[in-house]
Amino acid sequence: MTRVRALEPSGMIDRYLTLLNPLAKGLNVSVFIQISLEKQNEKALEQFETAMHDIRK
């Protein structure tokens, strides 16, 4: 992730995308979510990742 984050300031990273396998969870519904962060520095990204991890608990 360090190498990917190093590309962010140059604009080389257009967006982040996660594709989930709905069948792995027995789901038959597709949901698309777009998240924009006000800040995209290391601290803000870590806070976001932690918040997303905490939601899954």
Q: CA nearest 36: which of 6, 14, 10?
A: 14
Distance between alpha carbon 32 and the CA centroid of its chain, in Å? 13
Residue 57, pLDDT above cutoff 70: no
| pTM metric for this prediction | 0.41
Report the pLDDT value the prediction gives residue 43, as an integer from 0 to 100.
92
pLDDT, tens digit, for every residue of 37-55? 888 899 999 999 999 888 8
The average pLDDT across 8-27 equals 86
Cβ–Cβ under 8 Å, residues 30 and 22: yes
